[in-house]
């Protein structure tokens, strides 16, 4: 805001106060009449970072202030939309709870005593502490946790160049089981062509509240304009359920029984795509034999979905093939045998022949980007602390297995880990079993956090290195593989408001002090220049600066892998219905059903999910979003609520084997009587996140359990007791 305008308005005291408030909330200020020449209204294309979808947007900037974020229709993935969170990106930039300077802890961890320090001091301290850990425990004594961003690679590279094998990322809290299951079946993880599908089955993939672009938008358009059929299984009546043609409140943990019975029907009635299966798949005979035991009547008992419906859905599904799909979930960290369920889905999709077909599954296409060559470092020599080779031989090495890793670090096995660098991740509020995360954190000699806001993890850190937000940052160009691959560009729309830095500069600052500068001897501009060289145009950078996104009209392409000589990236070169790699690793090569643990008498199964206006645990403190849900509640069905004497809005205590919280009840028929549900991202410790201090944290309740093949956290295996307080 310009100073003259402010003084003019500030003459009315009340109005001035309101404006200050408005500024604090990041609201665009009205144009001031006194400004004779209004600042030019700039429209700057860039890329959203409020969740993982990377939607293209156009920032409206006037006088150095971001006034509005509009969708950029040029991106075929985000399809001209910007969701509630994207619109609230302004509040991330102008958030009063941002970390505005480097800070170091002066009191005990978590006591909240901080001093503002210079970057030199913060970086010196970080490097000294990392060196001290290295000296005592070796480089493997440091742990490097990060979540996805366009700059994350620099952080991971620093950890590796430092010599640590211990990086841990988010997939085992999210989609590791899906990724592994589809990779082992098809040799790759495909996208789903929701836009052209005629029949879609979703198991607890609440796609209308948990946005994935373009699937969310396509799902609405497909089911309304094009009359695709949506069959939806979920213990909870979500917004996706509200839009589904059929909703079945399936007994939690039995989705694989539903899938196996579908396989039983489709194979038993010869409804599979014989030509496709004989040309492209291996292991069909064993599969056919294996699923004979799983009849619809049997599955009806397990799932509590009548066999009549299972039979009909199986027939309709195969009739609609290849424009039919059993849609893969995204956060698939549910049960101890989650991987088997995802393999079942992949196999079901395979035998109806929807692979690489319009309206089915399509292997992701790519746009080539160039790469800057930098000096390589020696690979870390120590084994990973989570002992992946022994515990999860098929899991993705670079991602690690979070919960297993935490167990080992707490136990000091196989070796001590005493330094923890965290980037853009909030393990304290984001990971099941918070007491254990705090236990892991407490045994560290050093905890350094790079973030934009005072997350719960930052609150317990020794040093905080503040990153600039996405609206202030130039990032590497990012290619998003998909049915329509796109290249997105993120450029700063305003100068950094505070004493913050982009991650690359933070990494370079630490690297210099650790004598690792030679591995980071480049600038962001040089990095980007190499990347965009590969784009098929004369002035690629100018194009991206102007458009914010590049995509090619040659997509979508279907059927590129449908030639009999195509080799899938599997052991046999075929789509593996029976997986040889699973067999060799000592796992079941075909998915075998194991019934879920029964809900103990008087308890409930805790299930998790999302609202469209929150991103995991990270946006609950932004007022524009928080206003839709100022605290989280525990959804409980009227029947058990009644017998427990719980009325809507009553304060209740929820207790599991890991912890207990107090929260308000929401009595609603939108959930199975044997389950309760709560939203993620509340009950935070950090007083800076005042609006998210309300309600309770699911991380305190969730117990430690994981899927045995992928290592994905099993977040629906916790049972809770509920009582009125």
Partner 1 sequence: MTNRPKRYALAIDAKKCIDCKACVVACRAENGVPLGKSRNWINEELRGDWPKLMEVFEPEQCHHCEEPACVRVCPTGASYQRPDGVVAINRSECVGCRYCMIACPYDARFFRDDLGVVEKCDLCARRLDRGELPACVETCPSKVRIFGDLNDPTSEIHQILEKRQYRVKKREAGTGPQIYYLL
**Rg of the chain (C-alpha set):** 26
Backbone angles phi, psi at 52, to 5 degrees: -90, 0
Pick from 242, 375, 537, 539 the residue near partner 1 by CB under 8 A.
242
Are 329 and 255 in contact by the 8 Å Cβ rule? The answer is no
Interface with partner 1, residue 14, by CB under 8 A: yes
**Nearest approach, Cβ of residue 109 and partner 1 (Å):** 34
Give the total residue count for the chain: 725
Are 590 and 707 in contact by the 8 Å Cβ rule? The answer is no
Q: How far apart are CA 291 and CA 293, in angstroms?
A: 5
Binders of partner 1 among residues 306 to 335 (CB under 8 A) are none
Closest CB to partner 1 among 87 and 718?
Answer: 87
Q: How far apart are CA 236 and CA 244, in angstroms?
A: 13
Closest CB to partner 1 among 407 and 472?
Answer: 472
Question: What character string, x for contact with partner 1 (CB under 8 A) and - otherwise, covers 30-59?
Answer: x-----------------------------
Question: What character string, x for contact with partner 1 (CB under 8 A) and - otherwise, covers 71-90?
Answer: x-------xxxxxx-xxx-x
Closest CB to partner 1 among 72 and 349?
Answer: 72
- Report how many residues bind partner 1 under the rule CB under 8 A: 51
Q: How far apart are CA 645 and CA 659, in angstroms?
A: 22
Are 572 and 580 in contact by the 8 Å Cβ rule? The answer is yes
Binders of partner 1 among residues 657 to 676 (CB under 8 A) are 669-670, 672-673
Interface with partner 1, residue 599, by CB under 8 A: no
| End-to-end Cα separation, the chain, in angstroms | 49
Select the span of 66-74, 374-382, 386-394, 652-660 touching partner 1 (CB under 8 A).
Answer: 66-74
Select the span of 68-76, 134-142, 317-325, 696-704 touching partner 1 (CB under 8 A).
Answer: 68-76
Q: What is the DSSP string of 550-564?
A: EE-TT-----TT-ST
Which of 626, 636, 596, 640 shows the shortest CA–CA distance to 690? 626
DSSP state of 471: G
In Å, how far are 72, 213, 265, 462 from 81, measured between CA atoms?
7, 10, 40, 40
Are 444 and 419 in contact by the 8 Å Cβ rule? The answer is yes
Closest CB to partner 1 among 58 and 396?
Answer: 58
**Nearest approach, Cβ of residue 626 and partner 1 (Å):** 9
Binders of partner 1 among residues 87 to 106 (CB under 8 A) are 87-88, 90
Binders of partner 1 among residues 609 to 668 (CB under 8 A) are 612-613, 623-625, 627-628, 637-638
Q: How far apart are CA 189 and CA 505, in angstroms?
A: 33
Ranges assigned E (strand) in 101-180? 103-105, 114-116, 142-146, 167-168
Closest CB to partner 1 among 80 and 383?
Answer: 80
**Nearest approach, Cβ of residue 263 and partner 1 (Å):** 25
Which of 636, 702, 628 shows the shortest CA–CA distance to 663? 636
Which of 189, 228, 232, 191 shows the shortest CA–CA distance to 209? 232
**Nearest approach, Cβ of residue 549 and partner 1 (Å):** 17
Closest CB to partner 1 among 236 and 343?
Answer: 236
Closest CB to partner 1 among 334 and 613?
Answer: 613
Closest CB to partner 1 among 605 and 672?
Answer: 672
Pick from 29, 104, 288, 534 the residue near partner 1 by CB under 8 A.
29
Which of 640, 608, 591, 587 shows the shortest CA–CA distance to 717? 608
| Tokens 């009587």 -> residue | 673
Interface with partner 1, residue 241, by CB under 8 A: yes
Pick from 186, 237, 276, 688 the residue near partner 1 by CB under 8 A.
237
**Nearest approach, Cβ of residue 64 and partner 1 (Å):** 17
Binders of partner 1 among residues 203 to 232 (CB under 8 A) are 208-209, 211, 216-217, 220-221, 224
Q: How far apart are CA 218 and CA 493, in angstroms?
A: 30
Residues of this chain that bind partner 1 (CB under 8 A)? 14-15, 18, 22, 25, 27-30, 68-71, 79-84, 86-88, 90, 208-209, 211, 216-217, 220-221, 224, 237, 239, 241-243, 247, 249, 612-613, 623-625, 627-628, 637-638, 669-670, 672-673
């Amino acid at each position: 805001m310009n100073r003259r305008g402010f003084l003019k308005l500030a003459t009315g005291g009340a109005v001035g106060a309101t404006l200050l408030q408005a500024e604090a909330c990041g609201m665009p200020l009205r144009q001031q009449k006194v400004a004779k020449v209004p600042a030019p209204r700039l429209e700057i294309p860039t890329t959203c970072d409020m969740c993982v979808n990377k939607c293209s947007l156009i920032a409206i900037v006037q006088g150095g202030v971001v006034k509005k974020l509009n969708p950029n229709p040029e991106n075929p993935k985000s399809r001209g939309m910007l969701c509630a969170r994207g619109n609230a990106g302004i509040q991330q930039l102008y958030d009063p709870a941002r970390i505005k300077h480097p800070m170091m802890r002066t009191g005990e961890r978590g006591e909240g005593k901080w001093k503002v320090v210079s970057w030199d001091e913060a970086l010196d301290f970080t490097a000294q502490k990392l060196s001290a850990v290295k000296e005592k425990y070796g480089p493997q004594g440091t742990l490097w946790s990060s979540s996805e961003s366009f700059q994350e690679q620099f952080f991971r590279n620093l950890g590796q160049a430092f010599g640590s094998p211990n990086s841990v990322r988010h997939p085992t809290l999210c989609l590791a089981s899906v990724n592994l299951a589809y990779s082992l079946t098809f040799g790759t993880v495909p996208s789903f062509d929701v836009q052209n599908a005629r029949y879609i089955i979703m198991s607890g993939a609440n796609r209308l509240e948990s946005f994935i672009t373009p699937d969310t938008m396509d799902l609405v358009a497909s089911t309304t304009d094009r009359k695709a059929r949506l069959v939806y299984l979920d213990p909870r009546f979500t917004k996706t359920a509200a839009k589904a043609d059929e909703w079945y409140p399936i007994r939690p943990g039995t989705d694989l029984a539903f899938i196996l019975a579908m396989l039983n029907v489709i194979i038993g009635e010869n409804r599979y795509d014989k030509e496709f299966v004989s040309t492209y798949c291996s292991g069909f005979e064993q599969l056919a034999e294996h699923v004979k035991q799983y009849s619809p009547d049997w599955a009806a008992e397990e799932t509590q979905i009548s066999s009549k419906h299972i039979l009909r859905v199986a027939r309709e599904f195969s009739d609609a093939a290849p424009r039919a799909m059993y849609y893969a979930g995204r956060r698939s960290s549910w049960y101890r045998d989650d991987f088997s369920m995802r393999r079942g889905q992949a196999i079901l999709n395979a035998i109806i022949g929807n692979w690489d077909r319009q309206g089915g599954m399509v292997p992701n296409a790519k746009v080539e980007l160039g790469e800057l060559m930098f000096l390589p470092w020696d690979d870390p020599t120590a084994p990973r602390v989570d002992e992946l080779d022994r515990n999860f031989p098929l899991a993705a090495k670079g991602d690690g297995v979070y919960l297993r890793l935490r167990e080992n670090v707490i136990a000091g096995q196989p070796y001590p880990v005493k330094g923890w660098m965290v980037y853009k991740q909030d393990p304290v509020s984001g990971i099941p079993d918070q007491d254990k995360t705090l236990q892991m954190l407490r045994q560290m000699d050093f905890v350094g956090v790079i973030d934009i806001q005072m997350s719960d993890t930052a609150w317990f850190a020794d040093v905080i290195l503040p990153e600039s937000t996405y609206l202030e940052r130039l990032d590497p160009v990012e290619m998003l593989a998909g049915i329509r691959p796109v290249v997105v560009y993120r450029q700063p729309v305003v100068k950094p408001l505070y004493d913050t830095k982009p991650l690359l500069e933070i990494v370079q600052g630490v690297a210099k002090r650790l004598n690792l500068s030679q591995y980071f001897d480049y600038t962001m501009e040089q990095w980007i220049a190499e990347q965009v060289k590969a784009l098929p145009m004369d002035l690629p950078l100018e194009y991206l600066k102007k458009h914010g996104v590049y995509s090619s009209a040659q997509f979508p392409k279907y059927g590129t892998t449908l030639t009999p000589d195509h080799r899938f990236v599997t052991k046999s070169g075929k789509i593996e219905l029976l997986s040889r790699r699973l067999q060799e690793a000592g796992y079941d090569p075909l998915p075998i059903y194991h019934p879920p643990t029964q809900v103990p008498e008087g308890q409930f199964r805790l299930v998790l999910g999302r609202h469209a206006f929150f991103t995991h645990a990270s946006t609950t403190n932004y007022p524009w979003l928080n206003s839709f849900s100022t605290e989280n509640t525990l959804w409980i069905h009227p029947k058990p609520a009644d017998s427990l004497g719980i009325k809507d809005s009553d304060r209740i205590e929820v207790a599991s084997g890991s912890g207990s919280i107090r929260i308000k009840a929401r009595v609603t028929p939108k959930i199975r009587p044997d389950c309760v549900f709560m939203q993620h991202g509340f009950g935070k410790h950090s007083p800076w996140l005042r609006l998210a201090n309300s309600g309770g944290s699911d991380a305190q309740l969730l117990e430690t359990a994981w899927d045995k093949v992928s290592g994905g956290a099993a977040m629906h295996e916790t049972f809770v007791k509920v009582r009125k307080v």
